[in-house]
């Protein structure tokens, strides 16, 4: 471990602290710690990270200047500049913000989501007091790990709620969120869960060459009039934050669920059976072995040809695979949330599509499934 002058602020206090791989091509995990109660246990927290986080990456830790709750430090440019000096754009960089450092990590992520491979926000909040975009779908394709303490009295409850709601319902991120027992304290359980999550993300990136992100507004839906997906009306429904992922409000009426099912099984080459991976009662849609197929990323279960499944009547949503640019467009227009493991253990274009609330939405959701079917069939 390397201790020295704080290389971002120039102060004589330690630190940037660095450890792990010296290889400039190794992924970089950048840990931001605030000067709150969590920051006071700086050395102990670092020791916990050293023991638990994956081998093979480079690590750097910095304590960020004190800021008001929900605000990022006044100038994040020095932090970004330091990271860009350390790693080329194609080398994965993962941001981890702890306590007051979560606003700094979240601010950097919101300012330029495409620059970072993933981000973790632990016992902190997004910088709502900063002028940073928090639009629907802003974090599409960028996995986020969120941990809050169930009885955290240090971070204002309203900021915790706003952070949770934006990341779960509107951000578009493949989000893994959890509320841990206890208060404002970094636990071994949280760090252990984070370690597995980072390892899964870096392993996925090592195995997979992700397609270049299509600019916003350029996605073209061949299954919809004029090639554009309209915006879904109203707020996003409540959804679960881990697996099994489920829609928990605004559920589709049973009659519309059945109408959707009948439309899907009428698509060319589609067979149905219980899903191989979903909850009991979920009905899967398969392409048979004699039907031409697209890439493995076009399937939820590639070896079986399962490209989509419809959840049971108490839920009514669907999981399906889309090309990445269409998946991001569905997120940005409010029709979907990303699967929590998209881009970690499963294809990045796998999303949960909300069930249709009326006949108009039935037509739109059908068109989304038709796009998934075309992708699976190699069209």
Give the domains, in start order, of the chain with CATH numbers: 16-207 (3.40.50.1820), 225-376 (3.90.1150.30)
pLDDT at 38: 54
Rounded to a whole number of angstroms, the CA Rg of the chain reads: 21
Statement: the pTM of the whole predicted model exceeds 0.85: yes
Which residues contact residue 210 at a Cβ distance below 8 angstroms, ignoring those fewer than 6 apart?
A: 141, 324, 343, 348
Tally the C-alpha atoms within 13 A of residue 117's C-alpha that lie toward its C-beta.
29
Q: Which two tokens stand for residue 20?
A: 């792990």
**Biggest CA pair distance of the chain:** 69
Cα 226 vs. chain centroid, distance in angstroms? Answer: 29
pLDDT at 350: 98
- Is-contact 88 20, C-beta < 8 A? no
Alpha-carbon torsion angle 312, 223, 241, 94, nearest 10: 150
Quote the CA–CA distance of 2 and 14 in Å, as a whole number. Answer: 10
Which residues of the chain have a pLDDT value below 70? Answer: 1-15, 36-50, 209-217
- Is-contact 39 33, C-beta < 8 A? yes
Quote the CA–CA distance of 236 and 257 in Å, as a whole number. Answer: 18
Q: How would DSSP label each residue in 180-232?
A: ESSSS---HHHHHHHHHHHHHHHHHHHH--PPPPPPTT----TTSGGG-PPPP
pLDDT at 103: 93
pLDDT at 131: 86
Quote the CA–CA distance of 199 and 275 in Å, as a whole number. Answer: 28
- Is-contact 33 42, C-beta < 8 A? yes
């Amino acid at each position: 471990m390397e201790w020295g002058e704080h290389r971002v602020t120039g102060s004589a206090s330690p630190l940037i602290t660095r450890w792990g791989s010296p290889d400039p091509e190794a992924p970089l995990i950048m840990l931001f710690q605030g000067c709150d109660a969590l920051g006071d246990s700086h050395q102990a927290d670092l020791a916990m990270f050293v023991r638990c986080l994956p081998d093979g990456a480079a690590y750097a830790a910095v304590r960020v200047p004190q800021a008001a709750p929900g605000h990022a430090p006044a100038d994040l440019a020095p932090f970004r500049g330091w990271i860009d000096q350390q790693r080329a754009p194609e080398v994965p960089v993962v941001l981890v913000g702890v306590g007051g450092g979560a606003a700094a990590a979240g601010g950097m992520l919101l300012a330029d989501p495409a620059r970072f491979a993933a981000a973790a926000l632990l016992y902190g909040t997004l910088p709502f007091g900063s002028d940073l975009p928090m639009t629907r779908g802003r974090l599409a394709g960028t996995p986020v790990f969120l941990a809050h303490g169930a009885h955290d009295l240090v971070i204002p409850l309203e900021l915790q709620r706003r952070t949770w709601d934006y990341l779960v319902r509107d951000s578009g991120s493949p989000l893994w969120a959890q509320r841990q027992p206890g208060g404002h304290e970094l636990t071994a359980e949280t760090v252990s869960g984070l370690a597995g999550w980072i390892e899964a993300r870096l392993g996925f990136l090592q195995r997979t060459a992700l397609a270049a992100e299509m600019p916003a507004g350029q996605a073209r839906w061949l299954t919809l009039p004029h090639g554009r997906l309209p915006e879904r009306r109203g707020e996003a429904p409540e959804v679960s934050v881990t697996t099994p992922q489920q829609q928990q409000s605004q559920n589709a009426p049973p009659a519309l669920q059945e109408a959707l099912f009948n439309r899907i099984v009428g698509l060319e080459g589609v067979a149905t059976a219980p899903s191989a991976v979903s909850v009991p009662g979920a009905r899967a849609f398969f392409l048979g072995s004699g039907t031409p197929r697209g890439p493995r990323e076009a399937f939820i279960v590639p070896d079986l040809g399962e490209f989509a499944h419809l959840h049971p009547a108490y839920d009514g949503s669907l999981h399906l695979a889309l090309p990445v640019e269409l998946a991001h467009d569905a997120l940005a227009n409010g029709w979907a949330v990303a699967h929590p493991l998209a881009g970690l253990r499963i294809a990045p274009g796998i999303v949960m599509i909300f069930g249709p609330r009326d006949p108009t939405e039935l037509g739109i959701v059908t068109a989304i499934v038709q796009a998934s079917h075309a992708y699976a069939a190699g069209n």
